Amino acid sequence: MSSLWRDGRNHSLSHERLDRMPADEVRAELCGTSDTLESLFGRRPLSFRPPHGAYDDEVLLVASDCGLYANVMWSAEVTTGC
């Protein structure tokens, strides 16, 4: 499976708004996703895109604790619910 890895990014387990969750739930979402990706591909992601583009300082702090250092956003308006 590791040959399928390109530029894996973390996008959370449940796709809920991370800025509305307590820090322990954000940690479970982000670290849990990274753990799953590492078990599948042998590599942990270094970046993430928060669901719905919603994040705050606490989300960024927890993301950093999970080894995620880049917050990847988009530059076009998204209307599909991502």
| DSSP secondary structure, 2-66, as one string | GGG-SS--B--SS---GGGS-HHHHHHHHHHHHHHHHHHHS---SEE--GGG---HHHHHHHHHT
pTM for the predicted model, two decimal places: 0.79
Summarised one tens digit per residue, pLDDT across range 13-30 is 888 999 999 999 999 999
14 in Cβ contact with 52 (< 8 Å): no
Question: How much of the chain exceeds pLDDT 70, in percent?
Answer: 79
Sorted by where each begins, the domain ranges of the chain are: 2-71
